[in-house]
Amino acid sequence: MNPSGASRVFVTYASALLRGEKMQPPPFPLPEGAPFYRQVWHVLRTIPRGEVRTYARVAADAGCPGAARAAGTACARNPLPLFIPCHRVVAAHGPGGFGAGLAWKKLLLKNESSSTRKARYSKLKK
């Protein structure tokens, strides 16, 4: 795929995501990063649309139980948040953070929930 074709694919996916449409992200290799970050990013790509996981669960799934804060740092350093869905990761007692702001995180989760009806994010409605 040529660069302009790849750009169109990514723009189409991002636009669909923001409209709440169900669409699989385009395939692409994980970005460069620390080995633990890359493992977390891999785990993030496995979280189904409309579902959420805690930072602790993501850390455990990445092979480092007890490293919830480090998983949060990996989410914060995610260079492709719409394509590696860090917005699907929440804190044990609240929404957690999101580089683009909590309003964006809530919007993305709401859009995904409206199309799947599986998300459990009621604690985000505070």
Sorted by where each starts, the structural domains of the chain and their CATH numbers stand as 30-125 (1.10.10.10)
Q: Report yes or no on whether pTM surpasses 0.85.
A: no
pLDDT single digits (tens) 10-40:
788 888 877 777 777 777 778 899 999 999 9
Catalytic residue numbers read: 86
Buried b (16+ CB within 10 A) or exposed e, 53-92: bbbbbbbbbbeeeebbebbbbbbeebeebbbbbbbbbbee
